[in-house]
């Protein structure tokens, strides 16, 4: 009979106490796994999505993090607008050598709680949201440059709103679904995006030309530089032909001097341009250039990482307390096992053998609780993943694994050894003659 078998029988004899200490250890390990995995997946998702095909975000001067959260992740509220004329500086003006692509971006509307993003067709048709991966359509197509009142719905937004190809929807002015904003003219859904695992799954995209023709989206005429370029609003006619391939309009598009943008998404021509261009833009009085990846990393380094470390410390403390529980449980059982230990010693077992049995018992209890906790932690994540994906668009996956989880094994062995040392020392010092005499 080997030492492991003897230790296992001892655990079975104290089934209730072993189950309680094992459950405590399992709960602690499950919490450690949950903190490690959720933090890793969320951090990876945020940092991976920080650059969805572009390197720089240009917006109004103000909070850099707010600009990133609002533009990239559809969180927070939009910052102030920037002149539409600034876009031309990147397409044909002084900044053109620095960029290969400049995408206009307008925010400020929502539909049933989903952000409405006004942009150009190239954003969905040409942008790579990951290396070698572009947006694909589960059904329908992208809106066309001439389809002023066409829209494309993200996968998660389509699931939440029930919109499908051929439906129409009227965005509400404002980013909050509080019932206070007025409804705009309807857009027709021409496409549903396939899931991309990005925040854009939660957005609805519309043609920027139709966005500008909505109420309160044009810069007031008296504020325009060239008053003679103001659009004739009287008699303006919208004739929407909702054919999948044609969208005819009888209206005048908004002149550029009455247009404003929330942001401009830039793809730089070279890595050096990504360093020089923000400095040039930030020196001016109109706008600021933000590197989204840098801002998100700063957010995690300054705020999220310390919180994660605090949560991790609390969960590790639970595991340590569980280890102390194992020590107390085994130590309290020593009085009941003195005769058993004395018999083993009388039959020739060495002190080191008896001590090893107690240490193995402690390690088995810790590892059994640890494995159960690891399975429990990943099971909870798998169960919560669909709910989290539905609410946030961040998919945790069914069985994500973090390299730090490998540290649990040596950590539990070390903890079990320390927890079992005092009971093992007590077993080691057992007086055989006195234990046999004192036993009934």
Handedness of CA 103, 186, 190, 143 (dihedral sign): negative
Residues 178 and 271 in one domain: yes
Question: Is the pLDDT assigned to residue 224 strictly greater than 90?
Answer: no
Residues 34 and 64 in one domain: no
Contact 296, 68 (CB under 8 A): yes
Contact 321, 24 (CB under 8 A): yes
Parent domain of 87: 56-290
In tens, the pLDDT along 121-178 reads 999 987 777 666 788 999 999 999 999 999 999 999 999 999 999 999 999 987 666 5
- Is the entire prediction scored with pTM above 0.75? no
Angle at 157 between CA 185 and CA 401, to 5 degrees: 160
Residues 151 and 277 in one domain: yes
Residues 220 and 345 in one domain: no
In tens, the pLDDT along 386-433 reads 777 666 556 666 667 788 888 888 888 888 888 888 877 777 666 666
Contact 7, 359 (CB under 8 A): no
pLDDT band (50, 70, 90) for residue 2: low
Contact 62, 79 (CB under 8 A): yes
Residues 68 and 38 in one domain: no
CA distance 429 to 440: 20
Contact 329, 369 (CB under 8 A): no
In tens, the pLDDT along 226-275 reads 444 444 333 334 444 444 444 444 567 888 888 999 999 999 988 888 88
CA distance 133 to 126: 10
Classify burial at 430, counting beta carbons within 10 Å of its beta carbon; exposed 0-12, middle 13-18, buried 19 or more.
buried
Residues 193 and 284 in one domain: yes
Residue 51 lies in a domain: no
Instruction: Kindly give the pairing relationship between strand 82-83 and strand 260-261.
Output: antiparallel
Tokens, residue 171: 């965005």
CA distance 95 to 87: 10
pLDDT at 234: 35
Contact 260, 81 (CB under 8 A): yes
Instruction: Kindly give the pairing relationship between strand 203-207 and strand 114-119.
Output: parallel
CA distance 395 to 119: 26
Residues 64 and 41 in one domain: no
**Total number of domains in the chain:** 2
Residues 340 and 418 in one domain: yes
Handedness of CA 210, 216, 217, 222 (dihedral sign): positive
């Amino acid at each position: 009979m080997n030492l492991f078998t003897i230790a296992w029988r001892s655990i079975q004899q104290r089934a209730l106490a072993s189950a309680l200490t094992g459950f405590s250890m399992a709960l602690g390990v499950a919490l450690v796994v949950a903190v490690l995995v959720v933090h890793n997946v969320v951090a990876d998702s945020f940092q991976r999505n920080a650059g969805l095909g572009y390197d720089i975000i240009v917006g109004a001067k103000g909070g850099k993090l707010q600009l990133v959260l609002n533009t990239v992740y559809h969180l927070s509220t939009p910052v102030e607008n920037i002149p539409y004329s600034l876009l031309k500086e990147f397409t044909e003006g002084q900044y053109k050598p620095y960029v290969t692509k400049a995408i206009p971006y307008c925010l400020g509307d929502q539909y049933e709680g989903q952000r409405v993003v006004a942009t150009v067709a190239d954003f969905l048709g040409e942008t790579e949201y990951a290396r070698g991966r572009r947006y694909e359509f589960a059904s329908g197509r992208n809106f066309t440059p001439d389809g002023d009142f066409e829209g494309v719905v993200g996968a998660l937004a389509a699931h939440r709103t029930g919109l499908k190809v051929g439906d129409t929807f009227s965005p509400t002015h404002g980013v909050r679904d509080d019932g206070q904003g007025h409804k705009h003219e309807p857009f027709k859904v021409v496409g549903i995006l396939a899931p991309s695992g990005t925040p854009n799954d939660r957005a609805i995209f519309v043609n920027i030309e139709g966005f500008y023709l909505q109420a309160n989206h044009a810069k007031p005429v008296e504020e325009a530089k060239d008053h003679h370029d103001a659009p004739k609003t009287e008699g303006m006619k919208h004739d929407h032909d909702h054919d999948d391939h044609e969208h005819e309009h009888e209206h005048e598009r908004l002149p550029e001097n009455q247009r404003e943008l929330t942001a401009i998404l830039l793809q730089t021509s070279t890595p050096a341009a990504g360093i020089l261009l923000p400095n040039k833009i930030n020196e001016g009085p109109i706008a600021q250039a933000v590197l989204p990846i840098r801002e998100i990393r700063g957010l995690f380094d300054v705020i999220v990482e310390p919180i994660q470390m605090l949560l991790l410390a609390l969960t590790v403390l639970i595991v340590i307390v569980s280890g102390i529980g194992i020590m107390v449980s085994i130590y309290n059982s020593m009085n009941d096992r003195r005769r058993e230990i004395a018999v083993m010693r009388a039959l020739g077992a060495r002190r080191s053998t008896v001590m090893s049995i107690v240490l193995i018992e402690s390690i088995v209890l810790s590892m059994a609780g640890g494995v159960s906790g690891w399975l429990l932690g990943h099971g909870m994540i798998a169960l919560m993943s669909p709910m989290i994906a539905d609410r946030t668009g961040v998919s945790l996956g069914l069985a994500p694994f973090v390299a730090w989880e490998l540290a649990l094994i040596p950590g539990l062995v070390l903890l079990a050894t320390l927890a079992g040392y005092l009971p093992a020392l007590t077993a080691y010092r057992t007086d055989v003659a006195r234990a046999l005499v004192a036993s009934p």
